[in-house]
Amino acid sequence: MLATTLRRTTAAAARLNTTRCFASAPVDFDHFSSGWEKDSSEYQTEGKFHIETFNKISPLGLARFPSKNYEVKEDWENNNAHAILLRSHKLQESEVDVSVRAIARCGAGTNNVPVARMSELGIPVFNTPGANANAVKELVICGLFLGSRRLIAGINHMTQLGEQGLQKERVEKDKSMFGGREIAGKTLAIIGMGHIGAATAREASALGMKTVGYDPALSIESALKLPREISIADSISSAVAEADYISLNIPYIKGEGGTHGIIGKDVLSHMKNDAVVLNFARGELVDSDAMKEYLDAGDGRYISDFPDDLLWNHKNAILLPHLGASTEEAEETAAAMAADTIQAYLEHGTIQNSVNFPAAALPERKEGSIRVTVATQNVPGMLAYISDVFAKHGINILQQINTSRGDLAYNVIDVELGADTIDLKDLQKELTMHDGVLSSRILFGVAGAGYARNIEGSYFV
Ligand SMILES: NC(=O)C1=CN([C@@H]2O[C@H](COP(=O)(O)OP(=O)(O)OC[C@H]3O[C@@H](n4cnc5c(N)ncnc54)[C@H](O)[C@@H]3O)[C@@H](O)[C@H]2O)C=CC1
Ligand SMILES: O=C(O)C(=O)COP(=O)(O)O
């Protein structure tokens, strides 16, 4: 699908050379309703950004997109979405239309998005830090009780007795099978003290638990939220050594140096033999074979928000169907935050809450000026090249920002046009079709999008 669309749009783009911009003339053209629409059969709606959604996204959050400038749909049959909003859907590269400029995950974990590939294409991926943290924290606290009292087994027992009409006779006799322990005075180890971990630590402390945390990249924002009494460990193994409960609140990162199977034989061997592991982060963090061995050998428990082929029917495991963020409040907050982030990017080039792009925000664009955004590899000469292109065409830069993150650099540049007539499409082509440039956009007039470059070296509308 991707290849076909690319060929089509590349051909269409090659024909697009009519939009001209004159010095000091107001920049008022709308490339959806003028040349672009005529030249590309792909673009059939007028002057609106196309938002594609995967998963069920809160309608209250989506209502943040003004209908005047945005159209939100599950499927853009012409493959011409400009931005994607999703939750846990495992996004395939082939589902990213060539016209897509941004992807927002309504939630925290972006391991379901091909982020590295999007970086190569110059497409920012956003998430919504903290938007669903309270919902998850509440379920982690619930997990503490699921692990300390045999609630699920007790509930199942009551159902069975009820079916046999025996509840009243048997309850008091049978309840000794479901005895538990209390959480007050026990130790909770928190692995990852970000939005969820820090909030969980605070709550657990208020419930009378001792807390110990491990997070080698603890942010100041999170540190300020931690309970004063928390002790800080210098490794996962030392954090879990004295713990009765262990809560995992770290991202899942594949590959070397990542977090795949981080709770494996080694870490488990440092735990007490009756510890309760709460996994409301990602199933892949736990090595199922090692966890099974651990649960078989002692009286430990595993409470997880994720499916597990090996542990789903283990007597000491309780698995939930990924319910952590499934509250009305979290769904609405995350969707609203994602919608705002996407709008800020599409309309102003602003980057906030991105997991692959550097933060960037340029002050308001002056009336009549044009905003150009360029994502490049973070290598010498890129900024000079961009400035040269503008200078060559007699275009004055009014304000600009250049930021970088890892291998990627991002520029937002406001320009006023010089005395000569400029073909914006040619200009963008020149800016974009240069080694090291990943994508670019031109923002002017009403909602719209510019060229971007794909990995094969072609460009498209
Ligand atoms: N069950 C559910 O529905 C939900 C699950 N999650 C999962 O929880 C994770 C955490 O979410 P937030 O707290 O909102 O993210 P966050 O980004 O605020 O916090 C993550 C923390 O983990 C730390 N960290 C990263 N790698 C680590 C490691 N190897 N060892 C120790 N600390 C490490 C980071 O420094 C950061 O402070 C998400 O990545 C996601 O996978 C998030 C929301 C809902
Ligand atoms: O935010 C996250 O990382 C989550 O896991 C929440 O997933 P969901 O939006 O409920 O599919």
Judged against a pLDDT cut of 70, whether residue 7 lies above it is answered with no
Query: Ligand 2 pocket test: which of 125, 132, 140, 250 has the largest number of ligand atoms within 8 Å of its C-beta?
Result: 132
In terms of Cβ atoms closer than 10 Å to its own Cβ (0-12, 13-18, 19+), residue 108 is buried
pLDDT in tens, 214-253: 999 999 999 999 999 999 999 999 999 999 999 999 999 9
Q: Whole-number mean pLDDT of the chain?
A: 87
- pLDDT computed for residue 368 by the predictor: 75
According to DSSP, residue 443 is labeled E
**Residue 172 pLDDT grade (very low, low, confident, very high; cuts 50, 70, 90):** very high
pTM of the model: 0.90
Ligand 2 pocket, Cβ-based, cut-off 6 angstroms: 87-88, 106-109, 132, 324-326
Please report, rounded to a whole number, the percentage of residues in the chain having pLDDT higher than 90: 74
Closest C-alpha to 377, from 400, 353, 410, 352? 410
> Rounded mean pLDDT of 12-35?
32
- pLDDT computed for residue 443 by the predictor: 83
- pLDDT computed for residue 422 by the predictor: 74
Ligand 1 pocket, Cβ-based, cut-off 6 angstroms: 107-109, 129, 132-133, 136, 191-197, 214-219, 222, 249-252, 259, 280-282, 305, 322, 324-325
pLDDT in tens, 321-337: 999 999 999 999 999 99
Instruction: Evaluate whether 287 touches 279 at the Cβ level (below 8 Å).
Output: no
CA-CA distances (angstroms) from residue 454 to 119, 121, 222, 412? 11, 6, 38, 20
Tell how far the Cα of 39 is from the centroid of ligand 1, in angstroms: 46
Tell how far the Cα of 108 is from the centroid of ligand 1, in angstroms: 7
**Residue 13 pLDDT grade (very low, low, confident, very high; cuts 50, 70, 90):** very low
Tell how far the Cα of 108 is from the centroid of ligand 2, in angstroms: 6
> Rounded mean pLDDT of 140-159?
97
Spatial distance between the Cα atoms of 33 and 212, rounded to a whole number of angstroms: 59
Please report, rounded to a whole number, the percentage of residues in the chain having pLDDT higher than 70: 85
- Which residue would you say has higher pLDDT here, 446 or 380? 380
Judged against a pLDDT cut of 80, whether residue 455 lies above it is answered with no
Cβ neighbours of residue 66 closer than 8 Å, sequence gap 6 or more: none
**Residue 446 pLDDT grade (very low, low, confident, very high; cuts 50, 70, 90):** low
- pLDDT computed for residue 200 by the predictor: 98
- pLDDT computed for residue 26 by the predictor: 32
Out of 44-48, 69-73, 217-221, 444-448, least confident range: 44-48
Q: Got the DSSP string for 395-437?
A: PEEEEEEEEEETTEEEEEEEEE--SS-EEHHHHHHHHHSSTTE
> Rounded mean pLDDT of 253-279?
97
**Residue 429 pLDDT grade (very low, low, confident, very high; cuts 50, 70, 90):** confident
Quick check: helix, strand or coil at residue 207? coil
Query: Which ligand 1 atom sits nearest the alpha carbon of residue 198?
Result: 13
Closest C-alpha to 250, from 206, 280, 221, 227? 280
ipTM of the complex: 0.99
Q: Indicate which ligand has the atom closest to the C-alpha of 189.
A: 1
Out of 11-15, 218-222, 305-309, least confident range: 11-15
Tell how far the Cα of 87 is from the centroid of ligand 2, in angstroms: 6
For strands 276-279 and 301-304, give the pairing: parallel
Q: Is the dihedral of CA 445, 447, 448, 449 positive or negative?
A: positive
Spatial distance between the Cα atoms of 430 and 426, rounded to a whole number of angstroms: 6
- pLDDT computed for residue 6 by the predictor: 29
Domains of the chain: 1-43+358-461 (3.30.70.260), 44-132+325-356 (3.40.50.720), 174-319 (3.40.50.720)
Judged against a pLDDT cut of 60, whether residue 44 lies above it is answered with no
Query: Which stretches of 215-366 are assigned E, i.e. beta strand?
Result: 231-232, 245-248, 276-279, 301-304, 317-319
According to DSSP, residue 351 is labeled B
